[in-house]
């Protein structure tokens, strides 16, 4: 039976023959096995697991993605009944930690994008695009690093275009798409190919037992109930697992995304203690904390997570000297699940220890009416006070239909601001929340004249 656990470890480079195709995986003999590396054994040959490029999202987060092009061929195949080999100076190891990733198909070389308040897909070229992808190459020549994607093949983008890893979905392998977007304030167009294959974090497990061999390595086997899929082993690299024997079925017909667990909570319940914390209303800077008796465990042995009630987002709770905490900028009302591994560790308390709601703060409010549709309207308020933190003040702009936009604090101007690229005519309510040590002045809506330029530019290879 499989059970879930986190992944630690580092990657290793694949082994290649000299002067050959760099995307050709090369078998090695048992005498050439290197210590502290994982191999898939096929007959008498061994194939090192492959580490593609990926982002740096936390290990339990569905935001964790890896991507490939032709280098997918470097990922070894593992069939039921075969083994994972590992050479080590130690005669035994802790349970083997593996993560499963789901296949998301092909997309642009983009991850970590978000939907902004105007409904555009927003991202940074440097932070969120893959440098050697078609998108990374083409948008590196855009007028700005800040991109707001407007349409794909003349269809306006929506939040349905993005998955929870910030990748654009529903695209076809190597198909070219016509994009329109803002680069800063410049309106631009480009034709970009969907040339990256993505894997996204899905599930995680542990293989409990290793066996010694007389050939200088330990061997592990996938359990019979393991699903076919893409697996990362100890953070060192991937292999493709097929839950049937080699040659028994067609690999093309294997379902690589068939879920093993039915929910996040079911996954965590397999290996951890679970506790619940109730947040009665939306709360800012909510601190969730688990305190426990270390009882011989080190910080590296302790794994704590928090699951949000609205979208099942998983947050890691770093453990340090008997305390694991995580702070959410905004915790929506609902029941939160806190998990701690190992199961036999003594938990002293699990709770929400701080945070504040809108009821705790003073609210200054103004209503502004726009008589016509207009572009680049700046909603702002002056912040007056000597001893305050950025988190001590926050604000929203709400249109008459109920659509709300979050204001941001500008360190340079000392103002709360929200710039609306396109504002419909009608009433807007500006609300600024703060504490007694802060005063609010000049709540207003005004056209920002610095954003009057408009230029259409076409970018192509």
Mean pLDDT of the chain: 85
Cite the DSSP H helix spans in 233-391: 264-269
The reported pLDDT for the residue numbered 117 is 84
Measured between alpha carbons, how far is 129 from 188 in angstroms, rounded to an integer? Answer: 17
Residues 6+ apart with CB under 8 A from 370: 377, 423, 424, 425, 426, 428, 445
Pair of tokens at residue 89:
């100076």
Measured between alpha carbons, how far is 238 from 74 in angstroms, rounded to an integer? Answer: 9
271-358 and 361-451, same CATH topology:
yes
The reported pLDDT for the residue numbered 451 is 59
Does 385 or 73 have the greater pLDDT score? 73
The reported pLDDT for the residue numbered 162 is 95
Report yes or no: 162 and 149 within 8 Å, Cβ to Cβ. no
The reported pLDDT for the residue numbered 458 is 66
Query: Domain boundaries in the chain?
Result: 30-105+199-253, 109-193, 271-358, 361-451
Residue in 309, 316, 313 with CA at minimum distance from that of residue 290: 316
Measured between alpha carbons, how far is 326 from 318 in angstroms, rounded to an integer? Answer: 7
Q: Is the predicted pLDDT of residue 455 greater than 70, yes or no?
A: no
* Fold of the 361-451 domain: Jelly Rolls (2.60.120)
Q: Is residue 446 helix, strand or coil? A: strand
Report yes or no: 15 and 67 within 8 Å, Cβ to Cβ. no
The reported pLDDT for the residue numbered 140 is 95
Query: What are the distances in angstroms from CA 233 to CA 15, 23, 99, 118, 240?
Result: 17, 21, 7, 41, 11
Under the banding of pLDDT at 50, 70 and 90, the label for residue 124 is: very high
Residue in 200, 276, 239, 243 with CA at minimum distance from that of residue 2: 243
Does 336 or 93 have the greater pLDDT score? 336
pLDDT tens across 184-226, in order?
Answer: 889 999 999 999 999 998 887 778 777 888 888 989 999 888 8
The reported pLDDT for the residue numbered 30 is 92
Q: Is the predicted pLDDT of residue 3 greater than 70, yes or no?
A: no
The reported pLDDT for the residue numbered 456 is 53
Q: Is the predicted pLDDT of residue 429 greater than 60, yes or no?
A: yes
Residues 6+ apart with CB under 8 A from 182: 120, 147, 148, 150, 188, 421
Under the banding of pLDDT at 50, 70 and 90, the label for residue 2 is: very low
pLDDT tens across 38-62, in order?
Answer: 999 999 999 999 999 998 666 666 7
**271-358 to CATH, choices 3.20.20.70, 3.20.20.60, 2.60.120.380, 3.40.50.150:** 2.60.120.380
Size of the chain in residues: 461
pTM: 0.64
Measured between alpha carbons, how far is 123 from 259 in angstroms, rounded to an integer? Answer: 30
Under the banding of pLDDT at 50, 70 and 90, the label for residue 76 is: very high
């Amino acid at each position: 039976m499989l059970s879930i656990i986190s992944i630690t470890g580092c990657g290793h480079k694949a082994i290649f023959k000299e002067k050959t195709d760099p995307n050709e995986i090369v078998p090695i003999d048992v005498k050439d096995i290197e210590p502290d590396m994982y191999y898939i054994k096929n007959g008498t040959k061994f194939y090192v697991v492959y580490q593609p490029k990926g982002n740096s999202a936390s290990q339990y987060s569905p935001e964790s993605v890896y991507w490939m092009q032709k280098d997918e061929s470097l990922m070894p195949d593992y069939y039921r009944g075969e083994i994972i080999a590992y050479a080590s100076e130690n005669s035994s190891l802790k349970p083997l930690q593996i993560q499963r990733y789901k296949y998301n198909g092909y997309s642009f070389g983009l991850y970590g994008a978000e939907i902004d308040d105007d409904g555009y897909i927003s991202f940074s070229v440097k932070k969120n695009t893959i440098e050697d992808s078609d998108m990374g190459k083409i948008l590196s020549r855009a007028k700005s690093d800040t991109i707001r994607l407007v349409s794909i093949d003349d269809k306006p983008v929506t939040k349905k275009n993005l998955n929870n890893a910030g990748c654009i979905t529903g695209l076809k392998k190597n198909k070219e798409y016509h994009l329109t977007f803002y680069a800063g304030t410049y309106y631009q167009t480009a034709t970009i190919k969907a040339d990256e294959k993505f894997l996204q974090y899905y599930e995680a497990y542990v293989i409990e037992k290793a066996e010694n061999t007389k050939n200088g390595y330990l061997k592990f086997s996938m359990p019979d109930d393991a699903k076919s899929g893409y697996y990362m082993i100890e953070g060192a690299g991937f292999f493709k697992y097929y839950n049937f024997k080699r040659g028994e079925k067609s690999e093309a017909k294997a379902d690589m995304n068939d879920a093993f667990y039915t929910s996040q909570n079911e996954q965590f319940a397999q290996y951890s203690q679970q506790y619940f914390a109730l947040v009665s209303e939306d709360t800012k800077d909510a601190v969730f904390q688990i305190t426990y008796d270390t009882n011989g465990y080190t910080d590296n042995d302790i794994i704590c997570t928090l699951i949000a009630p609205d979208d099942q987002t998983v947050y890691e709770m770093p453990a340090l000297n008997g305390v694991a905490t995580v702070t959410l900028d905004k915790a929506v009302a609902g029941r939160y699940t806190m998990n701690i591994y190992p199961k036999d560790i003594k938990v002293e308390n699990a709770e929400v220890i701080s945070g504040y709601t809108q009821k705790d703060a003073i609210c200054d409010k103004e209503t502004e009416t726009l008589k016509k549709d207009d572009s680049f309207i700046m909603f702002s308020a002056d912040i007056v006070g000597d001893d305050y933190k950025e988190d001590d003040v926050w604000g929203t702009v709400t249109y008459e239909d109920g659509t709300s936009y979050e204001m941001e604090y500008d360190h340079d101007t000392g103002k709360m601001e929200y710039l609306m690229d396109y504002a419909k005519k009608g009433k807007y309510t500006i609300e600024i929340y703060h504490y007694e040590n802060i005063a609010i002045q000049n709540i207003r809506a005004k056209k920002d004249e610095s954003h009057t330029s408009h230029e259409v530019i076409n970018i192509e290879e």
